[in-house]
A and B are shown apart, each in its own frame.
Chain A
């Protein structure tokens, strides 16, 4: 097999020479805590970003709804925005945004057709994402959030069965 012609290379390790250990500027527990606080302080920025993302996903959905043909390109556009929303929510304390967008991505990735039911399910997910931001549902959104996510999961499971 290929391993018969195996060459092992040890590249020069320059990183250890460039980093110091301890002292001012070292990343200790306090520095990590400060960095986490900086991210927490970016929540206002996140809310601006996500409003933009919600506008984008609305537009992508409008195109999907109006599309004729196989709708693949339009669905891909919805997926792209949903994937961005999924990647960001949890970093800023909006875990439910990540969970809902994850469900939406899962639905789009796994669905073997894009029929009216799938398009309707996409609409439901987008409405839920807007509700989370509109109602400022942080974390997993408590009982209401759990119920919302369970409902969406049920819809997806049914369509993907």
Chain B
């Protein structure tokens, strides 16, 4: 299991090992590029998902969450006028947010990896560096299913635990211990 787990975590597109039926999961796809919305919803539909909502802006996506009880949100980092970071912060922190714990998968360009740390600090669960493929997207969905994250509230952060406590191979810095 360990090999499949690690490789999937790196997003290298190696097929994950558990076979989940995800048809009952509800997805909200938020991207200001209509073609990307079409691509992502087509992939989800091909994976068996039956209930997907879309929005072409962060504001509309946030509004959708009031009526649509999404299990997972997929959004693009670069959107206008509000980007994916601001969208994530709205979901996590806005007073009226209807679903502040919803897992968020963020799509990024491969030259935007420097934004990953920022996105993690905004409260994103997983990232996919474009190009998007069915295998990569499913690997991230599977990871969210198998490794639910605790949420942390501090004075300056609310969102999923940024340490991967369930990851036996995590060898990054221990943020909590940092002084």
* B138-167 contacts to A (CB < 8 Å): 138, 144-145, 148, 150-157, 161
**Do A7 and B48 touch across chains, with their CB atoms under 8 A apart?**
no
Residues of A within 8 A of B (CB): 1-3, 5-11, 13-16, 18-29, 31-32, 34-36, 38-39, 42, 45-46, 49, 53, 80, 83-84, 86-91, 95, 98, 102, 105-106
**Which residues does chain A contribute within 8 Å of B101, judged by CB atoms?**
11
Given known pairs A6-B154, A11-B151, A13-B148, the reply for A21 and B19 (CB within 8 Å) is: yes
| CB closest residue in chain B, given A1 | B179
Whether B130 sits at the interface, judged by CB under 8 Å, is yes
The B contact surface, by secondary structure, is loop
**Do B134 and A36 touch across chains, with their CB atoms under 8 A apart?**
yes
**Which residues does chain A contribute within 8 Å of B144, judged by CB atoms?**
15
Hey, what's the 0/1 contact readout for B13-28 against A, CB within 8 Å counting as 1? Answer: 0010011111111000
**Do B46 and A34 touch across chains, with their CB atoms under 8 A apart?**
yes
A102: contacting residue among B22, B47, B48, B109, CB under 8 A: B109
| CB closest residue in chain B, given A25 | B21
A87 to B108, CA, bound (A): 8
A89 to B48, CA, bound (A): 24
Given known pairs A1-B179, A20-B20, A27-B48, the reply for A7 and B152 (CB within 8 Å) is: yes
**Do B107 and A19 touch across chains, with their CB atoms under 8 A apart?**
no
Q: How near does chain A come to B179, taking the closest CB pair, in angstroms?
A: 7
B111: contacting residue among A18, A90, A105, CB under 8 A: A105
| CB closest residue in chain B, given A9 | B151
Given known pairs A2-B154, A11-B151, A42-B39, the reply for A91 and B138 (CB within 8 Å) is: no
A105 to B165, CA, bound (A): 36
**Do A21 and B18 touch across chains, with their CB atoms under 8 A apart?**
yes
**Do A27 and B133 touch across chains, with their CB atoms under 8 A apart?**
no
A55 to B34, CA, bound (A): 16
Q: How near does chain A come to B110, taking the closest CB pair, in angstroms?
A: 7
**Do B19 and A28 touch across chains, with their CB atoms under 8 A apart?**
yes
**Do A35 and B148 touch across chains, with their CB atoms under 8 A apart?**
no
Can you report 12 residue pairs joining A to B where beta carbons are below 8 Å apart?
Answer: A1-B179, A3-B175, A5-B154, A7-B153, A15-B72, A15-B148, A16-B145, A19-B24, A32-B134, A35-B138, A80-B80, A88-B33
A135 to B138, CA, bound (A): 33
Given known pairs A27-B19, A32-B135, A39-B134, the reply for A15 and B109 (CB within 8 Å) is: no
**Which residues does chain B contribute within 8 Å of A83, judged by CB atoms?**
78, 109
| CB closest residue in chain B, given A84 | B33
Whether B172 sits at the interface, judged by CB under 8 Å, is no
By CB atoms of chain B within 10 A, which of A6, A19, A22, A98 has the most?
A19
Q: How near does chain B come to A132, taking the closest CB pair, in angstroms?
A: 15
